[in-house]
Copies of this chain bind each other. A is one copy, B any other.
Amino acid sequence: MPRLRELGEAEVLRRLIAARALGPGVAVGPGDDAAVLEPEAGKQLVATTDAFVEGRHFLSSWGTPADWGARLAAANLSDLAAMAAAPRWALLSMGLRAEHEMDSLLELQSGVARALGAHGAVLVGGNLVAVQGEEWFDLALLGEVRTGAAWRRNGARPGDLLFVTGAPGRAGAGFQIARALGARAREAEWRPLLEAWLMPAARIPAALALAAASGVRAAIDLSDGLPGDLAHLCEASGVGAVVDLAAWGVDPLLERAARELNTTAEALRLSPSDDYELLLAVDPAARAGCEAAAQAAGTQLSCIGRVTEPENGITLAASGRAIDAAGFDHFR
């Protein structure tokens, strides 16, 4: 009788999903960023859920309740962005200690609602239960997408270009800087890193613009760090990949954080990091259109490599080493 600790998160998930059966009206079941449901022909719904636990996903000493609420919303919005779905409705379920202050709870809910509202979604219900241990907040989010238009993890083909939105690695670096520097991390020079950690941008506008431009063949959101998420995409698509670290532009903020943390910018970029950025496999013929769409949506898009035949595996070109496919594991 193995325990979750012995199996690790990925294997636990694999076993849970393998034990499930699908039914009618389910276009995409467990195993992608979100499920795709088809209440009727022509329109599909995309459904996802994500939970934050006190002490692990948020520290009450950093950020306000509204920040943490917005971050929970961003985590869920990011799953819909990775499916190119337009967010619509959310349910917020919470496990709270009786000592929780009402005002702080309203602030948190308002953080969730504002972050959802900025992308057209609304909080329509929820649930409350009392807990003795860590508090938790679980958001289920529904979005809409034209039938068949949802991005999947499994559509990448050899020759596709790999792009990332924004600056992956910054969220994890922000967290490490906060932990290492304490109050000094609040200085202006670290602000963009702390914001990447505490207030990640939801890539909904970029996703909807890119979907309209067409050319994205596969997508996944970066919630566990680039190596693990790239491995998920490659596995689902049955392809390999080369990430060209030399070609990927320098992030001066990661460089500065690396010096402070006695590590390298590359390590920060490739470590587990709740970035909620998108990793995209793009048809090379659509490159210009995708770059223009991302720019119009105000989102940085960087080409970091390309999709290869599966035999090549996944390699990091500059360092020449095979990628470490392990992202963050909740149970190890």
Q: Residues of A with Cβ closer than 8 Å to B?
A: 1-5, 7, 9, 12-13, 15-16, 19-23, 25-26, 29-30, 34-35, 37, 39-40, 43, 45, 47-53, 55-57, 88-89, 91-93, 95-106, 109-110, 113, 117, 120-134, 136, 138, 140, 142, 144, 330-332
Contacts and interface: CB of A to CB of B under 8 A. Distances in A.
B51 A129 contact: yes
A37 to B, nearest CB: 5
Given A109-B19, A110-B19, A47 B1 contact: no
B16 A126 contact: yes
30 contacts: A1-B103, A2-B101, A3-B98, A4-B97, A4-B102, A4-B105, A4-B130, A5-B98, A5-B99, A7-B102, A12-B102, A19-B106, A20-B113, A20-B122, A20-B123, A26-B122, A29-B125, A35-B124, A37-B142, A45-B142, A47-B124, A49-B92, A49-B125, A49-B127, A56-B130, A57-B129, A91-B140, A98-B332, A136-B136, A138-B138
Given A37-B89, A331-B130, A124 B53 contact: no
A311 B220 CA distance: 58
B125 A48 contact: yes
A45 B51 contact: no
A213 B157 CA distance: 54
A140 B123 CA distance: 13
B127 A47 contact: no
Contacts of A26: 89, 122, 124
Contacts of A93: 49-51, 93, 138, 140
A40 B37 contact: no
A118 to B, nearest CB: 12
A4 B99 contact: yes
Given A49-B140, A132-B133, A126 B4 contact: no
Contacts of A332: 98
Q: Which of A103, A125, A130 has the most CB of B within 10 A?
A: A125
Contact of A23 (B1, B2, B19, B122): B122
Nearest to A32: B125
A56 to B, nearest CB: 7
Given A3-B98, A105-B4, A331-B98, A89 B35 contact: yes
A97 B7 CA distance: 13
Given A16-B106, A57-B129, A330-B129, A144 B47 contact: no
A51 B95 contact: yes
A2 B99 CA distance: 9
